[in-house]
Every structure is written in C-alpha cells, then in structure tokens.
Amino acid sequence: MKSFLGIAVIVVLGLTAAAVIGFYPVLSQAPTVYDDEQEGFDQQIVIKFSHVVAENTPKGLAAQQFARLVDERTQGRVKVEVYPNGVLYSEPDEIEVLKQGNVQMIAPSFPNLSKLQPAWMVLDLPFAFLSHEAVREAFDGKLGRMLFNQLQQEDMVGLAYWGNGFKQMTNSGRPILRPSDLRGQHIRTMRSDLLERAFQMFGAQTTQMPFNQVYRGLESGMLDGEENSISNIYSKKFFQVQKYLTISNHGYLGYAVLMNRTFWNKLPTDIQAQIRDAMKETTQWANVNAIRLNDRQLEEIRQIPDLEIHTLTDAQRAEWMQAWEPLYREYESVVGRQYIDEIRALQHKYAGSLVP
C-alpha cells in the first residue's frame, strides 16, 4: 500500500512539473503590459478603405492613387487596402462601419452624409454649382470647412473632397427635357430626402436605392430612370438598359473622403502628416482626372447607336432652374440658412459660367 502511494505521488509530481514546464512560455507572457494606443505602430499600419463604385471610376482611380502615394510617402510603414464595388460593405452600411472602426476609411457620396447631418443636403440642391470653378471654391473654401466641422461629433475626420462630375438624367420611357416630362416616371435617387423631393415636385415616383442595385432595377423595369455622372453611367453600363440620356448638369456628384477619428488620433504625428500630404496630391490629381474621364467617356457613349442623347438648351435649363427655386426656400430651415447663403453667393459669382 505504501509502495502504491509513493508511486502515485511521484507520478502526480512528475505530471505537475511537466505541465508547468510545457506552459511556461504562455505563463511567462501573461502579465505583459502594453499601450493600446501604440499597439502595432512598430509594425506596418493597415488602413482598410472601402467604397462602392468600380475601380475605373474617378473615385476608384483616386483611391488606388492614394494607396500608392501613401506607400511611397511612408516608405511602406502604412498600407492602404482598397476594397471597391461594395465588396466589404454596401452603400447604406459604410458610414456606420466607419464609426464602429470596422474600416478606417470611406468616401461616401454627399447624399449619404445628409442622413447624419442635414446640412450636407446643401450640396444636393439642383444647380447649386454652375461650373467646375464653383465646385472647387466650395470644396476648398468656407462651405467645405463648415461641413467637415460637423462630422467631428460623428467620430469622423474629413480629409478631402473628391469630385466625380455633374449629374445627367437617363430614362427608358421618354426624353427628359422639361420638368413636366418627369410626370409618372419612376426615378431612382440616392439616399437624400431632398433629392426625392426634387423629383416628386414634378410628379415623379421615387425610390432611394443603393448604387449597386440600380442596374438591376433599370433592367427589370422596376425603375424608369435615374440621375448620375457620366462616369458612373459608363462604368455600370446603364446605357444598355436606358433609351435616353439628357445632358442637364443639374446637380453635382462628389465624395467626402473620411477617416475614423479615433483611429486617426492614434496615428503618430509624422504618419498623419505623410497621409495628409499624399491626400493633397491625390485630390489635385483626382479632380482634374474626373473632368477628363467624364468628357472622354461621354464621347464614347455618343457612339452607342441605340441611345438617344439630348442636351438642354439655355431656355430649357432656365426653366428647370426656375421650377426648382421653391426647393431652396422649402429646405432653408432644414439645411440651415448659412449654408444656403454660401451656395447663393457661389451662384451669383459664377452665373455667367454655366457648364455647357
């Protein structure tokens, strides 16, 4: 009996020693303390940049250019991973996942931000911008700063404004040349109550629909038409499921390039400076490229034999502008008088330089 107990004690002691020795590396690392604000910054920093349009659009190309420049500026310390076409998150979800920190960067279109801050609807007002110069002044000046300041409370940092281009109208039912032509048409709009109201004013039915679902809606006949930049019409091949294109330049499609503020604040200051430098260069290139790309793709679209293209005359454009004027007064209390005043000042300044 004593012999059996002795053997048992030896076995237990042996197993205990083996367990302690075997798990020693884990146990020895358990108490390690680290600064979570600097965690990983001695290694490569990865920024996930999610967006919902194709790679060959102004935004898609700008995102790729930005990723290349960040890699150069930081000598590989920062890697920007670009996820186009909504492969990570859809248009309705991207703002929320940025706030949650699931991605670090997004570039939503202006209407999507109006769901957070109604002042952003000022950029959706019809004929808010009458020329490319007016767009640049708005983005680089007081209006752009006012809108970005609003996003700080949403845990976002505004890095830049990227342009896509002026919006045009497509339709499968009839040419859209006058406001009355919209009556009875089913039009897709982006996620903006103001944009919906703009079309409903003329008797159209509207549906807010994510960008990547629009082609199917047009193809199935659920939708009659939509509004978009030439580059988006071209890249998504909307001309395959639409019969008419109206060159109206009635609105402007642009993007706010945003980063999660908590993530941004944790970055070392030298990295922040390098990212801003890369963003500045990207933005200058992107906004020039957007104009060139839209012009070139419009010429390609003009070669499509089954698409009927109309350009608004000066008289027709004046009719649209006058018909939409009540919308400015209707949304003044929602958007904010100071924001609409900024747009009015730009319109007055560039009244003689309407985009042809």
Could you report the per-residue pLDDT of 39-55, keeping only the tens digit for each? 555 689 999 999 999 99
pLDDT reported for residue 245: 98
pLDDT reported for residue 92: 86
Which residues have a Cβ under 8 Å from the Cβ of 15 and sit 6 or more positions away?
A: none
The predicted model scores a pTM of: 0.85
Percent residues over pLDDT 90 in the chain: 85
Q: Is 272 helix (H, G, I), strand (E, B) or coil?
A: helix
* pLDDT level of residue 96 (50, 70, 90 thresholds): very high
* pLDDT level of residue 170 (50, 70, 90 thresholds): very high
Q: CB of 55 within 8 A of CB of 87?
A: no
Share the mean pLDDT of the chain. 90
pLDDT reported for residue 29: 36
Which residues have a Cβ under 8 Å from the Cβ of 150 and sit 6 or more positions away?
A: 117, 119, 120
Percent residues over pLDDT 70 in the chain: 88
pLDDT 10s digits, 300-344: 999 999 999 999 999 999 999 999 999 999 999 999 999 999 999
Token representation of residue 305 = 């034999």
Is the confidence at residue 15, as pLDDT, over 50? no
Which has the minimum average pLDDT: 109-118, 258-267, 280-289? Answer: 109-118
Which residues have a Cβ under 8 Å from the Cβ of 319 and sit 6 or more positions away?
A: 178, 179
Q: How many CB atoms lie within 10 A of CB 254?
A: 22
Per the model's pLDDT, the better-predicted residue between 244 and 41 turns out to be: 244
Question: What are the two backbone dihedrals, phi and then psi, of residue 158, each rounded to the nearest 5 degrees?
Answer: -85, 120
Q: How much is the average pLDDT of 178-194?
A: 97
pLDDT reported for residue 41: 55
The rounded distance, in Å, linking the Cα atoms of 233 and 227 is: 9
Burial of 194 (0-12, 13-18, 19+ CB in 10 A): buried
Is the confidence at residue 292, as pLDDT, over 60? yes
pLDDT reported for residue 115: 87
Number of H helices, E strands in the chain: 15, 9
Q: CB of 271 within 8 A of CB of 78?
A: yes
Is the confidence at residue 247, as pLDDT, over 60? yes
pLDDT 10s digits, 145-154: 999 999 988 9
Q: How much is the average pLDDT of 165-193?
A: 97
